[in-house]
Chains A and B, each alone.
Chain A
Amino acid sequence: MSVAIEVHQVCKYYGSLCALDHVDLKIEAGEFFALLGPNGAGKTTLINTIAGLAITDSGSIHVMGNHVINQYRQARKQLGVVPQELVFDPFFTVRETLKIQSGYYGISNSASWIDEIIDRLGLTDKADVNMRALSGGMKRRVMVAQALVHKPPVIILDEPTAGVDVELRQSLWDFIKQLNIEGHTIVLTTHYLEEAEALCNRVAMLKQGKIIALNSMQDLINNMTVGYSLRLRLQPDSLPSILQDKQIANHNGFYELKIDAHAQIELILARLREENIQILEMQLLQPDLEDVFVSMMKNSIPEM
């Protein structure tokens, strides 16, 4: 598989502030990748350096094998970026905006592709409306369309769903998922962790300009310290003494037991059978990305 984005030992300083600290990152073509981290972690700076909107102090970045400074024309043709800030040119309509944007990439016969993205993003009614007259959500869709006019193999979305209502968010994700299925590499940043969890196959977590975790979504959840837990309601209502050390909570008639691996469930059930305790209800609680995120961010020493 070819590499879509390769970031090698990138540092970026703003005055004395180190926004990116020796960042290494490799994103394969076809991946659906999430960049997570609190505000100010360096996500947008990293995206800007990949897109050529910010210039690195050291290190190198390649997009589809093209160096983003020395081969900037080729690199930028391979890349579509949806910036975080809601920006637009107030002089033009939606269609004019898209036509101009595709022209910048040297594409002159773009009408049918522009019609298609207008249609797929639900902008048909607004195609000839001035950008100023659009709602925030509609402007966001136009920005997504602008990033796609040149059919880039790699698409970066910097918090595309910030300030967007639930319905639009859903349709936007369906669209982006479809793009990924069609072969586009997708990189996104989001504050909505459930979105990353539902969509992405790999995640990097950034904190203070460093990547503190880089893994597949499942591995990240499996390897984390938070662990699984088993909630049980028992009859009679007492936990055998041999299981007491696993108990982490007891409320509303439920015992919550910490388990490190699924195999331990069978062990617990066996113990309960031995004591003739009946199970009235049982829930297996899986950790989610939010638990991983919180536990990672609490840990002040970067692990990598």
Chain B
Amino acid sequence: MTGFLTLLYKELLRFWKVGFQTVLAPIVSTLLYLLIFFHVLETRVEVYQGVSYTAFLIPGLVMMAVMQNAFANASSSMIQSKISGNIVFVLLSPLTYREIFMAYILASVVRGLLVGIGVYLVTWLFFDIPLFWPVWIIMYAVMGSALLGALGVIAGIWADKFDQLAAFQNFLIMPLTFLSGVFYSIHSLPPAWQYLSHLNPFFYMIDGFRYGFFGVSDISPYVSLVIVSVCFLAVSYLAIQILRTGYKLRH
């Protein structure tokens, strides 16, 4: 247990020591999204009855920030350690594959939640956002950040250069996030796009997370939770297999 806790502590310390960049900066940029969309769309769009567009948008942005930072944490930590070579100190140690995986995932969850809580607290000062059932909120935030953390581990191990990691982020993570209903309800989309949105696992995370605030969602939150959990288990299995076989880490 000490080994796992040490790696977790190291991973937490790693991002905390550069907290301006890893926690504060994403909070500010998420709030900038809010500021812009609030000014442009507040009076024009109503997604759910009686819910202002801004109130609808805020949970989506919070979850987007949680997911993006969870991914960024695991992936950048992994690739930095690989490129600078200091991953060797973890590889030489008796830490098990699962311990390494769990430490990276948990650190990602913590960073994701910190950024999410930061965004939520600032918006809470200015906007009225209902809290229908916080348990759903916490569950989706944890599951979503864990899933993105696991994806980050895979991307960080797979990528040999920062360039490849950026490609993973820009061509996979970003489109899936932006097209997941952060900024809109998928009911406002044409049927073909609605169908495609249902193939995007990120959609279920945002939708379920939002349910915790409003008690309204496009899909039943139970169904979404099952889908998100299955995705998490599948991605985790893949990540652990990658660590176990030493793919790109142990030559």
Contact = CB atoms under 8 A, between A and B. Distances in A.
A73 B96 contact: yes
A39 B9 CA distance: 39
Contacts of B90: 104
A14 B251 CA distance: 9
B250 interface: yes
Contacts of B220: none
Given A48-B251, A104-B95, A87 B88 contact: yes
A133 interface: no
Contacts of B7: 103-104
Interface stretch (B10-18, B46-54, B128-136): B10-18
Interface residues of A, number: 32
A132 to B, nearest CB: 11
Given A103-B9, A104-B3, A106-B2, A87 B85 contact: yes
Nearest to B93: A104
Contacts of A77: 94
Q: Chain A CB within 10 Å — which of B5, B10, B94 has the most?
A: B94
Contacts of B250: 52-55
Contact of B94 (A48, A55, A100, A104): A104
Contacts of A53: 88, 91-92, 250-251
B215 interface: no
A275 interface: no
B3 A106 contact: yes
Given A52-B250, A54-B251, A106-B3, A101 B94 contact: no
Contacts of B89: 87, 89, 101, 104, 146
A76 B88 CA distance: 13
B86 to A, nearest CB: 5
A175 B96 CA distance: 32
Given A55-B246, A87-B88, A106 B94 contact: yes
Nearest to B88: A83
Contacts of B2: 103, 106-108
B170 interface: no
A105 B84 CA distance: 22
Contact of B3 (A87, A91, A103): A103
B6 interface: yes
Interface in B4-49: 5-7, 9-10, 13-14, 17-18
B13 A105 contact: no
A72 B96 CA distance: 9
A105 B94 contact: yes
A11 interface: no
A92 interface: yes
Q: Which of B10, B92, B96, B251 has the most CB of A within 10 A?
A: B92
Nearest to A12: B251
Contacts of B86: 87-89
Contact of A91 (B17, B91, B94): B17
A234 to B, nearest CB: 60
Interface of A: 14, 48, 51-55, 72-74, 76-77, 79, 81, 83, 85, 87-92, 96, 100-101, 103-108, 146
21 contacts: A14-B251, A52-B250, A53-B88, A53-B92, A55-B250, A87-B84, A87-B85, A87-B86, A89-B81, A90-B84, A92-B10, A92-B13, A100-B9, A100-B10, A103-B7, A104-B7, A104-B90, A105-B3, A105-B93, A106-B1, A106-B2
Top 6 A-B residue pairs of the complex, sorted by shortest distance between their CB atoms: A103-B6, A104-B93, A87-B85, A73-B94, A76-B94, A106-B2
Interface of B: 1-3, 5-7, 9-10, 13-14, 17-18, 81, 84-86, 88-96, 246, 250-251
Given A53-B91, A89-B81, 6 more contacts: A76-B93, A79-B92, A88-B86, A101-B89, A103-B10, A105-B93
